[in-house]
Structure 1
């Protein structure tokens, strides 16, 4: 995971659009959680994942795609008291909301999913 964070940090440092440090740190944590979630929960049906980082429209968007059809519910609702999973996605949801961004899950045409988060580059 450290290699991914360093690669994304280096990629964004080379872009003409400035990414505030607070936004960068939040995105790196979100990306780590999304990749960890994909590896932990989707690896059996999806041995490969895709990672996307995009700058545009005043936002920084990160997305992780896997081939597993399960759509996690942690981004849609708060867990019940006996809920023991999804804490990483709840962290993603909280970090994204705190930054004034949005996150969601979308199905892919191949039957998998993309979980993404987009944070504004300017303070919310």
Structure 2
């Protein structure tokens, strides 16, 4: 099997949402924009997601579910899909990582890794 046939790249850009955050109540809101690109040579559909969210105190929350933002995007080779979502934490910093579970047109199931990225509010810089 050629692993290049099943290659999905994932890039994430996080953003702190100051107007929705309430640091005095341990409520820090972040958005993140995800870009998913099929770099393989087989069309594939995103079936489910698995996120691991770790706050600044090491508390881990796992999120699993169908698709992303209510969709299960189908990506032909070279096609991409972008969406924005969000999360809330009790600490001003943390990280997220995970994977998307994909299925190619030939029935092959594979994971697309979401590389770890950091959620940082401006208050963590002081």
TM-score over 0.5 for the pair: no
The structure in which a higher percent of residues are helix is 1
| Higher Cα Rg, which structure | 2
TM-score, normalised to structure 2's length?
A: 0.30
Identify which of structures 1 and 2 has the higher relative contact order when contacts are C-alpha pairs closer than 8 Å and 6+ apart.
2
Tell me which protein shows more strand as a share of its residues: 2
